């Protein structure tokens, strides 16, 4: 097999726009020569594949699947957002969960995984909700999907408690449900996720955190919290929960007791954006000194949709603080590990989007005011190698310099069109305009290539 006229945008900068002709045998580059391409021929780009560090499998496309034309699938059309509030999203999603069927979960899950693969994703952490309403159904469907897509996607299943475990009428039942499933399906589950902020009190949130830490250690799982999902200024002595998570991880001796390969991921954490620099620096110092494998994941589309709602009493309804973790600053200025995820697509928590990580990275240029070339590189990392690292997968194949003998893997972007052709005037002539060509990472992040031009090489 041959790949001609290929650029590796993640190579060291001196070679980043050089073009190569590569002969491939058994998946490995056996000969790499300077490209003999024709002048003006658009290059192909081979990029590290993408990763979803945080995506909800069972909740995807609830509002956009439009499967109810078949009477074998539930109708969710009455569950579209009305106020768009967080409580409404929680309530409508609870109602949706009561209607889940095996076939419906399987179809929406396949649609999400197929779309992700076409977008360039090769690994993901898939969240499945397990509680007194869903029982094991989202989990057993996820196991089926993981097997069906195993040749295309590396998929981690995260057993996830979206609902309270230590408060409300169903807390005990939810906890018993997920506890039983963690044992019954131990060989199929790689991560445990909970949502401490949905508990009714701070004390219950702390119990939720402790339970999740000890349970993850016991079952040798990755740990994943949905945390500090608000934009309120913390009232002393109550710091954001992230401080308690670090304390509890230390108190339960995560470093000594947890499997060395397991990581801790903290999602949302929007409240950190209201802290002052000295408080953030204090948090960063605590985390770095703890040596705990903590990674933050920003979930901008959900955060911007959900956070920053005006209060009922306000007389300035357009003053909306749009808070989401400033992932680039956390990496560059605070020395923390962080990445970016899609979280939800097509449901009451995030109605918008196609789930494309590259589209999200492009939006992050605006969201983070990150318009430099080095920031484009970090943003690509946040949906690729940094995301992979956060959820405990190894290094991304295809990230470093390509030399003969290395395996050729990644997302190939093929730009076929040299020209854009448009209808001309009545005499039949065409308008012919040279097409723009993408030649580096900045072009990819700022202006994501159409999905039809992407494919996975492995």
The contact set with Zn ion (CB under 5 A) reads 343
Residue 167 tokens, joined: 């408060």
For Zn ion, give the closer residue by CB, 131 or 375. Answer: 131
Q: Which of 336, 358, 345 is nearest to 118 (CA)?
A: 358
Instruction: Provide the minimum distance between the beta carbon of 349 and Zn ion in the complex, in angstroms, as a whole number.
Output: 8
Q: Which of 48, 46, 52 is nearest to 355 (CA)?
A: 52
Peptide bond into 329 cis (omega under 30): no
Instruction: Provide the minimum distance between the beta carbon of 318 and Zn ion in the complex, in angstroms, as a whole number.
Output: 28
**Cα(246)–Cα(242) distance, rounded to whole angstroms?**
6
CA distances from 268 to 224, 297, 299, 331 (A): 11, 7, 6, 15
Instruction: Provide the minimum distance between the beta carbon of 129 and Zn ion in the complex, in angstroms, as a whole number.
Output: 10
Instruction: Provide the minimum distance between the beta carbon of 56 and Zn ion in the complex, in angstroms, as a whole number.
Output: 6
For Zn ion, give the closer residue by CB, 266 or 365. Answer: 266
DSSP state of 395: P
For Zn ion, give the closer residue by CB, 271 or 343. Answer: 343
Spatial neighbors of 383 by CB under 8 A, at least 6 apart, are: 50, 51, 339, 340, 357, 358, 360, 361
For Zn ion, give the closer residue by CB, 163 or 375. Answer: 163
SS3 432: strand
Residue whose structure tokens are 């219950």: 204
259-294 burial, b at 16+ Cβ within 10 Å, e below that, comes to: eeebbbbbbbbbbbbbbeeeebeebeebbeeeebbb
Cα torsion 177, 387, 367, 284 to 10°: value is: 90
125, 224 in Cβ contact below 8 A? Answer: yes
Apex 276 CA angle, 273 and 277, nearest 5: 100
Instruction: Provide the minimum distance between the beta carbon of 211 and Zn ion in the complex, in angstroms, as a whole number.
Output: 19
Instruction: Provide the minimum distance between the beta carbon of 162 and Zn ion in the complex, in angstroms, as a whole number.
Output: 8
**Cα(133)–Cα(45) distance, rounded to whole angstroms?**
46
For Zn ion, give the closer residue by CB, 230 or 407. Answer: 230
For Zn ion, give the closer residue by CB, 263 or 343. Answer: 343
Instruction: Provide the minimum distance between the beta carbon of 388 and Zn ion in the complex, in angstroms, as a whole number.
Output: 18
CA distances from 437 to 13, 20, 112, 302 (A): 19, 16, 29, 32
Helices marked H in 167-252 — which ranges? 171-184, 202-219, 241-251
For Zn ion, give the closer residue by CB, 341 or 449. Answer: 341
Instruction: Provide the minimum distance between the beta carbon of 347 and Zn ion in the complex, in angstroms, as a whole number.
Output: 11
For Zn ion, give the closer residue by CB, 324 or 343. Answer: 343
For Zn ion, give the closer residue by CB, 58 or 375. Answer: 58
Residue of minimal Cβ distance to Zn ion? 343
Instruction: Provide the minimum distance between the beta carbon of 226 and Zn ion in the complex, in angstroms, as a whole number.
Output: 5
């Amino acid at each position: 097999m041959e790949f001609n006229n290929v650029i590796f945008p993640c190579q060291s900068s001196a070679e980043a726009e050089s073009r190569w002709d590569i002969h491939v045998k058994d998946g490995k580059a056996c000969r790499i020569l300077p490209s003999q391409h024709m002048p003006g021929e658009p290059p192909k780009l081979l990029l590290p594949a993408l990763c979803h560090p945080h995506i909800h499998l069972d909740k995807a496309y609830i509002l956009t699947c439009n499967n109810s034309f078949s009477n074998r699938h539930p109708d969710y059309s009455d569950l579209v957002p009305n106020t768009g509030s967080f409580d409404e999203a929680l309530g409508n999603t609870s109602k949706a969960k009561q209607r889940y069927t095996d076939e419906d979960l399987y179809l929406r899950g396949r649609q999400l995984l197929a779309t992700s693969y076409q977008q360039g994703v090769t690994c993901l952490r898939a969240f499945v909700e397990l509680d007194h309403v869903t029982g094991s159904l989202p989990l057993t469907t996820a196991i089926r999907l993981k097997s069906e897509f195993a040749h295309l996607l590396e998929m981690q299943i995260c057993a996830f408690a979206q609902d309270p475990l230590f408060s409300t009428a169903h807390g005990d039942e939810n906890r018993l449900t997920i506890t039983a499933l963690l044992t019954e399906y131990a060989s199929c589950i790689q991560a445990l996720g909970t949502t401490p902020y949905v508990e009714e009190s701070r004390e219950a949130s702390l119990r939720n955190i402790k339970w999740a830490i000890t349970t993850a250690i016991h079952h040798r799982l990755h740990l994943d919290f949905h945390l500090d999902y608000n934009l309120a200024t913390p009232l002393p002595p109550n710091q954001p929960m992230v401080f308690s998570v670090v304390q509890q991880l230390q108190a339960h001796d995560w470093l000594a007791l947890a499997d060395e390969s397991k990581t801790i991921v903290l999602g949302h954490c929007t409240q950190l954006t209201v802290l002052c620099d000295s408080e953030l620096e204090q948090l960063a110092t605590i985390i770095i000194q703890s040596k705990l494998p903590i990674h933050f994941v920003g979930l901008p589309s959900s955060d911007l949709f959900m956070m920053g709602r005006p209060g009922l009493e306000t007389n300035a309804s357009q003053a909306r603080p749009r808070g989401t973790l400033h992932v680039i600053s956390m990496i560059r200025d605070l020395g923390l590990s962080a990445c970016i995820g899609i979280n939800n697509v097509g449901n009451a928590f995030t109605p918008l989007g196609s789930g494309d990580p590259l589209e999200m990275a492009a939006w992050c240029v605006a969201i983070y005011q990150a318009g430099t070339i080095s920031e484009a590189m970090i943003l690509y990392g946040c949906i690729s190698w940094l995301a992979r690292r956060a959820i405990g997968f190894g290094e991304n194949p295809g990230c470093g310099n390509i030399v003969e003998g290395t395996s050729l893997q990644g997302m190939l972007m093929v730009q076929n069109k040299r020209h854009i052709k448009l209808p001309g005037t009545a005499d039949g002539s065409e308008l012919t305009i040279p097409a723009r060509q993408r030649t580096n990472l900045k072009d990819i992040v700022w202006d994501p290539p159409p999905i039809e031009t992407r494919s996975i090489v492995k």
